[in-house]
Amino acid sequence: MTNTKDILIDCREFSKPESVSLGDGRTVDAIGVGKVNVTMYFKVSEPKRCMMHQVLYVPKLACNLFSVRAAASKGNWVKFGRSSVGSGTQRDLCLEWVPS
């Protein structure tokens, strides 16, 4: 989810807002959906760019959020380590990014 419409590619606005539940129990309205280019940083190789699909546009968010639940519901996995986070799909062995 993002509050920044400018980063969305092929943004499509909804005919009516969709309610999104946040971790603190609040709900906010998503008013559109699109794709976002992401750069992943690796310890053992050069950075790689990928595309995140079905990213919700939620103007009232304070910052961008990544939903582990949404990723897992689409057949992806997310793994948390001491100083890194990894994510991938069934066909990926491992995509890992580390804080810079």
Give pLDDT tens digits for 1-60: 999 999 999 999 999 999 999 888 999 999 999 999 888 777 777 888 888 889 999 999
Q: With 70 as the cut, is the pLDDT of residue 64 above it?
A: yes
Cα distances (Å, whole numbers) of residue 96 to 54, 89, 100: 21, 12, 13
Closest CA to 30 of 3, 69, 66: 3
User: Helix, strand, coil % (nearest 5) of the chain?
Assistant: 10, 50, 40
71 Cβ contact partners less than 8 Å away, ≥ 6 residues apart: 77, 78, 87
Tokens of 14: 């909804």
Domain ranges of the chain: 5-73
